């Protein structure tokens, strides 16, 4: 059954001829603040950038009303697509790409916030100057909340994801996330996101593994902050969703995934007697707020590996 979609365009949409399309899917998040920040750069990009937002089945009339008002007030050419049912991260991003008119697509998550006021201008200038096949701008925690309940996620992200562009460039396919990812249209047309990935996790990394075999992946310093830090319980729930996706990726790219620490740990833990019992203890340690944050983060990584051990 085809999901019903309602489309709202603003006044600037019809006449625009953008070179760059910013594509932002969301589910139960509110991208209003992100849209406001992007729109501050409208004059500096002079019609070269459009913004398309996809509500992937939130079904919140009040949120839709507010976002409709925001879209209509924006100086940037902007479109809001509202779905009546959730289609999932891969299908949603493919839908956004189909709606875009730019020659380059910037996938930008709704919980991101640009770290400077030249964010769109820098992306637009890169497209005009080099027209790269794939480029990742990176993300940071500069503006992210510092609440104690997010300390474990902050520590994990700072260590493994908020990586300088010079280091990312050494393993270009590993450090690719759709949080802040530029893709040229012909590249995306030849390698779309796999709709077989459902729930949360790994669809962007698997996509990058495919793309990196055929195209150069560029890394640069044009970061945005990941505002959506999770509690341990929420992050553990996402890891539980991601296990089948990890297995799907490992099955398709065994030669690459074999070098991943998470895969190596999963293979080791697979031999551990009584793994389900140990897995519970790992999660319990990660949720124990009396333990030091590094110990809790290590326990949560072990918990993720223990989940993956049963999937690979």
Q: In the prediction, which pLDDT does 92 show? A: 82
- The answer to whether residue 234 sits within a structural domain is no
C-alpha R_g of the chain: 20
Q: Give the CA count within 13 Å in the CB-facing half-sphere of 303.
A: 23
Instruction: Name the residue among 186, 207, 205, 183 with its Cα closest to residue 132.
Output: 183
> Which residue's structure tokens are 């600037």?
12
Q: What is the CATH number of the domain that holds 124?
A: 3.90.550.10
Residues 76 and 212 occupy one common structural domain: yes
Residues 223 and 246 occupy one common structural domain: no
Instruction: Name the residue among 53, 162, 67, 184 with its Cα closest to residue 115.
Output: 162
DSSP string, 265-307: HHHHHTTSTTHHHHHHHHHHHHH-TTS-HHHHHHHHHHHHHHH
- The answer to whether residue 25 sits within a structural domain is yes
- The answer to whether residue 71 sits within a structural domain is yes
pTM for the whole thing? Answer: 0.88
Strands 139-140 and 224-226: parallel
Residues 186 and 123 occupy one common structural domain: yes
Element (H, E) at 97: helix 89-99
Q: What is the pLDDT of residues 35-67, one digit of tens each?
A: 999 999 999 999 999 999 999 888 889 999 999
pLDDT bucket at 171, cuts 50 / 70 / 90: confident
Contact 52, 21 (CB under 8 A): yes
What average pLDDT does this structure show over 105-129? 96
């Amino acid at each position: 059954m085809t999901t019903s979609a309602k489309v709202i365009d603003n006044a600037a949409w019809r006449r625009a001829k953008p070179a760059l399309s910013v594509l932002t899917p969301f589910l139960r998040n509110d991208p209003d603040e992100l849209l406001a920040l992007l729109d501050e750069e409208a004059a500096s990009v002079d019609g070269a950038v459009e913004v398309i937002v996809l509500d992937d089945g939130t079904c919140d009339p009040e949120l839709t009303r507010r976002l409709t008002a925001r879209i209509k007030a924006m100086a940037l050419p902007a479109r809001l697509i509202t779905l009546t049912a959730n289609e999932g991260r891969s299908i949603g991003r493919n839908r956004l790409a189909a709606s875009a008119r730019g020659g380059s697509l910037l996938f930008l998550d709704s919980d991101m916030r640009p770290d400077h006021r030249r964010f769109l201008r820098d992306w637009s200038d890169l497209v005009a100057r080099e027209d790269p096949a794939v480029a990742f701008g990176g993300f940071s925690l500069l503006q992210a909340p510092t609440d104690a309940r997010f300390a474990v996620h902050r520590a994990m992200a700072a260590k493994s994801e908020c990586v300088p562009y010079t280091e990312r460039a050494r393993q270009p396919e590993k450090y690719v996330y759709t949080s802040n990812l530029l893709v040229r249209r012909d590249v995306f047309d030849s390698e779309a996101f796999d709709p077989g990935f459902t729930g949360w996790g790994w669809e962007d990394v698997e996509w990058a593994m495919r793309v990196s075999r055929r195209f150069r992946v560029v890394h640069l310093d044009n970061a945005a902050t990941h505002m959506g830090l999770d509690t341990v319980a929420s992050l553990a729930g996402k890891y539980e969703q991601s296990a089948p996706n990890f297995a799907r990726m490992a099955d398709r790219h065994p030669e690459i995934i074999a070098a991943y620490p998470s895969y190596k740990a999963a293979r080791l833990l697979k031999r551990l007697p009584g793994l389900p019992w140990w897995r519970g203890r790992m999660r319990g340690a990660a949720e124990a707020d009396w333990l030091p944050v590094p110990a809790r983060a290590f326990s949560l990584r072990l918990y993720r590996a223990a989940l993956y051990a049963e999937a690979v």
